Amino acid sequence: MATLGIAGAKIALVDKNGIVLTGTNGIFKFTDQAATDTSGIFDITVDNSYGVASLALTNLVGSTTDIAGNNKIVYKSAGKGSAQSVLTVNALPNEIKMAAVGMPSDGKGGFTITGKQDSNVRVAVLAESSEAFDETKPLYVGMFMGNASEASATLTSNSATESRTQDALTIAQLERGDDGFGKYYFSTASKFDEAAMLADVFKTATTGGSTTGGTTGQ
């Protein structure tokens, strides 16, 4: 899949069934927007985050084991990959990031470093790129759910140049039932439907596909 750049990304908190959580349960839970949020989807833009730097996907396919017979390799036994993604954002809003990685709030502007991943906090991500030689033809990667974390942080002094870091969320992907880890979506494919893609990645309990709706439990 040859690509050109990354044009943006969306992120949401989802429950164990991959249903988007909204309001005080969703990605805006630590913000003033929680009271009015009905979509549960945070659109990462240049205005609110200085944009998305990258999305890297690894371990999408498992390793194979040779099966021998009659002194020949007769079959490849294929294992399942432990898919992982790394979403790097130039400056994700702090409250959005804390919600995504599952750090609990003390209600006074502090977020506790517990030292343990909260397995009940899951995120869904949809990122947009384009065909490598035609940026008018978008393509997308949707990862249905996974546990996001940021295992380390480094603060470094400025010198002759500014020392600026980015927000990098490492997401250990989970399978959403029989849907797998996620999907590629190509705008050039016959019958591509952007609204259907959004509904596929960001499901809700009431419709099984709308990007708006109520909240569900974890």
pLDDT of residue 208: 58
The tens digit of pLDDT for each residue in 46-70 reads 999 999 999 999 999 999 999 999 9
Which residues face 41 on adjacent strands? 12
Question: Which residue has better confidence, 152 or 9?
Answer: 9
pLDDT of residue 206: 66
Sign of the alpha-carbon dihedral angle for 139, 124, 96, 27: positive
The tens digit of pLDDT for each residue in 162-213 reads 999 999 999 999 999 999 999 999 999 999 999 999 999 999 876 554 444 3
pLDDT of residue 207: 54
If we measure between CA atoms, which residue out of 35, 19, 9, 48 comes closest to residue 145?
19
Mean pLDDT in residue range 7-20: 97
